[in-house]
């Protein structure tokens, strides 16, 4: 069980909190302590909108340990509207819903549970925007 690690990652997992450079306005996800653009160490927490588009996507049949119960699932690179590209699982989708350029938005889902008696990890996934 990784109590400390999951506790440290909660703000990014639950709220998509990344960093914004106070010097050059570059936005990062996950959080950074130094800007890769200008080298500044003045980075502030920045909450991303959770809206983006699929850049590339694949379907996973052989999952890493802990994710076996969710196969088959889609994993994608999602380009957030603020710029960062994030690797995430897609949820509530079928093959026909998934395409490059598709608009998606962030939802919080149960990512991992450490056995029947360990902690449950909640984090971001992405899903197609609700149709009106």
Partner 1 sequence: MKPTRAVGVIGYGGYIPRYRIDAAEVDRVWRGSGKKEGRSFKAVPGPDEDTTTIAIQAARNAMDMASIDPEELRAVWFGTESKPYAVKPTSTIVADAIGALPHANAADWEFACKPGTEAMQAAIGMVGSDMARYAMCGGADTAQAKPGDVLEYTTGAGGAAFILGPGQESVAVLQASTSYVTNTTDFFRREGQEYPNHGQRFTGEPAYFHHIRSSVTTLMEEIGAGPGDFTFAVFHQPNSQFPLRVAAELGFARDRVEPFVLTNLVGNTYSGAAMLGFAKALDVASPGDRILLASYGSGAGSDAFSYEVTDKIIEVRKRGVPIERYLKRKKLVDYAMYARYRGKLRRN
Q: Which stretch binds partner 1 (CB under 8 A): 7-15, 32-40, 56-64, 74-82?
A: 7-15
| Residue 107 engages partner 1 in binding (rule: CB under 8 A) | yes
Judged by CB under 8 A, the residue of 14, 38, 85, 100 near partner 1 is: 14
| Whether 130 contacts 112, CB under 8 Å | no
The CA-CA-CA angle for residues 109, 14, 10, to 5°, reads 120
SS3 41: coil
Q: Give CA–CA dist 35/17, Å, rounded.
A: 16
Q: Give CA–CA dist 18/29, Å, rounded.
A: 4
Question: Which residue lies nearer to partner 1 by CB, 43 or 111?
Answer: 111
Judged by CB under 8 A, the residue of 94, 95, 96, 101 near partner 1 is: 94
Q: By the criterion CB under 8 A, which residues form the site for partner 1?
A: 10-11, 14-15, 47, 69-70, 91-92, 94, 107-111, 120, 122, 125, 130-132
């Amino acid at each position: 069980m990784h109590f400390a690690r999951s506790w440290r990652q909660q703000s990014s997992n639950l709220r998509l909190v990344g960093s914004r450079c106070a010097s050059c306005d570059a936005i990062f996800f996950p959080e950074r302590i130094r800007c890769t653009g200008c080298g500044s160490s003045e980075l502030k927490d920045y909450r991303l909108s959770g809206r983006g588009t699929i850049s590339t996507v694949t379907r996973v049949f052989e999952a890493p340990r802990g994710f076996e119960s969710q196969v088959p699932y889609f994993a994608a690179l999602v380009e957030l509207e603020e710029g960062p590209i994030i690797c995430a699982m897609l949820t509530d989708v079928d093959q026909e819903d998934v395409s490059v350029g598709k608009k998606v938005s962030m939802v919080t889902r149960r990512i991992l549970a450490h056995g029947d008696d360990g902690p449950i990890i909640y984090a971001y996934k992405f899903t197609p925007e609700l149709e009106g």
